[in-house]
Amino acid sequence: MLEVVLGIDIGGTNTVFGLVDRNGNILTSDSIPTTGDDSAESFFERVFKSFNEKFELVKDKYELKGIGIGAPNANYYKGTIEHAPNLAWGFVNVLDIIKQYTDLPAVLTNDANAAALGEMKFGAAKNMKHFIQITLGTGLGSGIVVNGDLVYGHDGFAGEMGHVRIDKNNRVCGCGRKGCLETVASATGIKRTVYELLAKMNDKSSLRDIPFNKLTSKNIHEAAVKGDVVALEAFEYTGKVLGKAISDATAYFSPEAVILFGGLANAGDMIFEPVKRHMEKNMMDLFKNKVQVLMSGLPSGDAAILGASALIWHELNGEK
């Protein structure tokens, strides 16, 4: 029988889960709406009902070894999800809840940390022991690996690179403070930058026809490819701020690589080029030309499941 794990990624809207083998092959995958108004108890009832029905059909082929869960605001040490903004669950102990459904080893961590382990096991960070994974989505999520293991800190909440302060601006952040890195370096951040530039510059721009709530980092990328000066300037500024922040993170961690993932990273060279240029420009001599900036090595649709399953494989392999 093939040894497999169940990887579960809980998102604000949808939850995806599937069986993954030791080599990162996704053997089954499924998704259900998360519907955050539910209680966590009834949510996991739905997940396991759906999973068990399908697993019945394949249980002769696969030996299930454990369960890995990635979720927003999740705490690895405690097995809790704590007041995730898009889930109406408050403070819940997930590992306690799922004990009703399984005796298998189960672990939980936040989605950014799971993504980093996914890169280490199956993606762009294979064989690396020191790297930073950055997801440029609605916010900036980061998972930091030192000596082959995640940096959790003493309370399990370390690795919040998105909330390092960058001083130069004072944009209000979702965390309640001002000037956090993710207010600039994220898919939402570049939208804010575009709007700031549309106010500041007089140049024609196709982006002047798109309302804020419709604007996406994809729109901005498409405009930039066509030479839209506002869009180009927005990428330049985003790359400058993120590149500089990576040079600071390097002083702390001296990583072998920084891996970019998520909506804004999909803009490819348009964002990678200014990030690398400003990173090197700001780097201490000691670290110049040492840190690679890489695109995620995980297919974006599968990254969440692969991250969640990497988490439990990491544990089962005794690497933790």
CB neighbour class for 117 (10 Å; exposed up to 12, middle 13-18, buried from 19) = buried
Question: What is d(CA 30, CA 19) in angstroms, rounded to the nearest whole number?
Answer: 9
Nearer to a second copy, 184 or 220 (CB): 184
Binding mask 106-125 for a second copy (x = CB under 8 A): --------------------
Least separation in angstroms between residue 66's CB and a second copy is 22
CB-CB contact of 238 with 278 (8 Å): no
H-run or E-run covering 92: strand 91-93
Nearer to a second copy, 108 or 150 (CB): 150
Nearer to a second copy, 160 or 315 (CB): 160
Residues 175-192, buried b or exposed e (16+ Cβ, 10 A)? eeeebbbbbbbbbbbbbb
- Give yes or no for residue 264 binding a second copy (CB under 8 A): no
Of the candidates 199, 236, 190, the residue with the CA atom closest to the CA atom of residue 217? 190
Binding mask 22-61 for a second copy (x = CB under 8 A): ----------------------------------------
- Give yes or no for residue 129 binding a second copy (CB under 8 A): yes
Of the candidates 141, 61, 71, the residue with the CA atom closest to the CA atom of residue 107? 71
Nearer to a second copy, 35 or 73 (CB): 73
Question: What is d(CA 308, CA 173) in angstroms, rounded to the nearest whole number?
Answer: 27
Q: Of 152-191, which residues contact a second copy (CB under 8 A)?
A: 152-161, 163-168, 175-177
Binding site for a second copy (CB under 8 A): 128-130, 144, 146-147, 149, 151-161, 163-168, 175-177, 244, 247-249, 251-256, 282, 284-287, 290
